[in-house]
Amino acid sequence: MINQPRLDEIKRVLNTDKRVRVVELAQKFVVSEETIRRDLTFLEEQGVLRRVHGGAILPVPSEEQPLQIRSRIKPRAKARIGQLASTLVEEGMALFLDTGTSTVALAQHLVRFSRLKIVTNSLDIALILTQQSENSVTLTPGRVRKNDNALIGSHTLEFARQFHYDIAFMGIGAVDREHGFMDYEEPEALLRRVLIQHCRQSVILADEGKFGLRTFVNTLPFSAVNTLVTNAPPSAAFVASLENAHVNILHPGNAADDNPGLSGV
């Protein structure tokens, strides 16, 4: 059972002290440490905090968290995004999947295919698809980035330019009404700019928590992307901005598997 007053107080303490400890919270609320750990897990899934040994800390908004940490935030939302994005795929397509928790979720839904040609700069995605499917998987060259097992750099960009993809599936750091699609660091932004020049359809995967964020790098204007897949309908203001830029929006409310009358693209 969720105890909202206790969660609100944990968030208040966290915002004040920047860190909370399981032992101290259990004593404060006169509950078990296991109860507090469940509370912290729930709040981490909401993106409120980052679990660390013995407690939790506030995430740093200007820095993207490691992939292992991000994978614990909104896991159901990302699984839904992955499932929806997979409905755009047809057997025999050539795809690029870049690094991110939502694209990892998509990869888990692509194992049901067997004749896809997939290029990726993600070690995690490559392992999922080679170990669990018969699809053709090609890994880009590049320097391995520790926090998300991504291959990045000039060799990655040069390799990605050699092919033309039916769909390029891309994660993103933030979705801002004024600046468009944004990232925390330049390497992924540079790769995404290359990919939109070498694909028939460009697809951004972004959970609802990305909307309204503003990060460091201006990656792409809305108009550069064909389709946005998300786990919940965006606000009316975002819908207007995206539709004005001719971006198709795919979410559970308009997906073909939820509403047979709508294709979502």
Per residue in 120-176, pLDDT (tens digit) is 999 999 999 999 999 999 999 999 998 889 999 999 999 999 999 999 999 999 999
- The position carrying tokens 């969720």 is 2
What is the reported pLDDT for 57?
Answer: 87
Q: Which two tokens stand for residue 196?
A: 């939109």
CA nearest to 146, candidates 53, 65, 239: 65
What is the reported pLDDT for 258?
Answer: 47
CA distance 177 to 175: 7
Domains and CATH numbers, the chain: 4-59 (1.10.10.10), 75-250 (3.40.50.1360)
210: how many CB neighbours lie within 10 A of its CB?
A: 22
- Residues 76-98 as b/e (b if ≥16 CB within 10 A, e otherwise) read ebbbbbbbbbbbbbeeebbbbbb
Q: What is the DSSP letter of 211?
A: B
Q: What is the mean pLDDT of residues 93-106?
A: 96
CA nearest to 164, candidates 132, 196, 209: 196
Q: What is the mean pLDDT of residues 110-116?
A: 97
Mean pLDDT of all residues belonging to the chain = 89
Write down the pTM of the prediction.
Answer: 0.74
What is the reported pLDDT for 263?
Answer: 34
pLDDT band per the 50, 70, 90 thresholds, residue 52 = confident
pLDDT band per the 50, 70, 90 thresholds, residue 6 = very high
CA distance 262 to 233: 14
For the chain, the first-to-last Cα distance in angstroms comes to 38
Q: What is the mean pLDDT of residues 75-83?
A: 89
What is the reported pLDDT for 141?
Answer: 97
Q: What is the mean pLDDT of residues 92-98?
A: 98
What is the reported pLDDT for 260?
Answer: 35
